[in-house]
Amino acid sequence: MCELIRGHLKARRAADAHDLARARALRLAAFGAAGAGTNDVFDEQCTQILIEDMHSGDLLCCFRLMQLTPDALTRCYSAQFYELSTLSLQEGPMIELGRFCTAPGLRDPDVLRLAWAWITRHVDEAGVTLLFGCASFSGTQTTEYLDTFAMLRARHLAPDRWLPRVKAPEVFRFAARLRRKPDIRKAMTRMPPLLRSYLMMGAWVSDHAVVDRQMNTLHVFTGVEIGAIPPARKRLLRAIA
């Protein structure tokens, strides 16, 4: 699939170096960290997706996808931060979703709907069994996200058989350290939108957050087993795709 159009919005694959430069500029604006806009070895290995306003030509959203087999997990972006050998037991192709961002201040829900429509079509066409990535929290201070992490611990930890192990030098082991009862309202208020979308599909997360000072984020490994997505959610995703 090359492109998907809904109303005035178009999702398409990046076509050239100019498109990639635009995506990097949007990342830099969205993440506010120098590392977000720079080239890395993964950009050249990934499929870059852009979502544009066809009237103005503005780039509203971008993300990248890397398709992997279970024996190739060590070459993905997440493997820099997490030990992923448990996932080698997954069957079928996997996709890593990364550098997902929208234009600062964007409030148009149709942009995210189109992004998930493109991803859903690609997942179905490629027979993907697992979608995963690093869901990012802005900044590297954990205190403002404690209710969110407590909720992740209580409701959304990965099963032991899939749980990513610690690899990064600086982590926040929220599953081991937090025993508080989460304030669900506060937890959802501080929840990154992408992570919220993952959880609505039945996602699970790592038991620790990585402190990424280059990107000025905290992130948790997040996995969605395609076969375990609730049927009602699957129908909704496929309806918009």
Dump pLDDT digits (tens) for 59-75. 999 999 999 998 899 99
pLDDT of residue 1: 63
Rounded to whole angstroms, the Cα distance separating 237 from 116 reads 7
User: For residue 43, what are its two tokens?
Assistant: 């950009």
Dump pLDDT digits (tens) for 3-22. 899 999 999 999 999 999 99
Q: Please report where in the chains the tokens 């869901």 appear, as a residue.
A: 135
User: 3-state SS of the chain?
Assistant: CCEEEECCEEEEECCCHHHHHHHHHHHHHHHCCHHHHCCCCCHHHCEEEEEEECCCCCEEEEEEEEEECHHHHHHCHHHHCEECHHHHHCCCCEEEEEEEEECCCCCCHHHHHHHHHHHHHHHHHHCCCEEEEEEEEECCCCHHHHHHHHHHHHHCECCCCCCCEECCCCEECHHHHCCCCCCHHHHHHCCCHHHHHHHHCCCEECCCEEEECCCCEEEEEEEEEHHHCCHHHHHHHHHHC
Average pLDDT, stretch 194-200?
93
Domains in the chain, CATH or no CATH each: 3-240 (3.40.630.30)
- Whether residue 37 has pLDDT greater than 60: no
Provide the CB-side half-sphere exposure for 217 (13 A, CA). Answer: 20
Which of the four pLDDT bands, split at 50, 70 and 90, describes residue 239?
A: confident
pLDDT of residue 33: 66
Strand 9-13 to 3-6 pairing: antiparallel
Rounded to whole angstroms, the Cα distance separating 191 from 227 reads 25
Rounded to whole angstroms, the Cα distance separating 241 from 237 reads 6
- Single out the residue of 49, 28, 29 nearest to residue 39, CA to CA: 28
- Whether residue 95 has pLDDT greater than 60: yes
Residues 20, 14 contacting (CB under 8 angstroms): yes
Dump pLDDT digits (tens) for 128-151. 999 999 999 999 999 999 999 999
pLDDT of residue 38: 60
